[in-house]
Amino acid sequence: MKIANSLKTLKARHKDCKIVRRHGRVYVINKKAPRYKARQG
């Protein structure tokens, strides 16, 4: 999982990326290509 300051660029890496909020943290999740997982840190 990548940890980034801003997820705006990471969301654009793949067309299936979605941004979700969990427990006060912002995540990029991607069911089809899990290598694009990221967290705002």
Report d(CA 18, CA 13) in Å as an integer.
Answer: 11
CB atoms within 10 A of CB 38: 22
Number of domains the chain contains: 1
What is the Cα 14 distance to its own chain's centre? 10
Domain span including residue 20: 2-40
Positions in the chain short of pLDDT 50: none
| Percent of the chain surpassing pLDDT 70 | 100
Residue 26 per-residue DSSP state: E
pTM for the model: 0.83
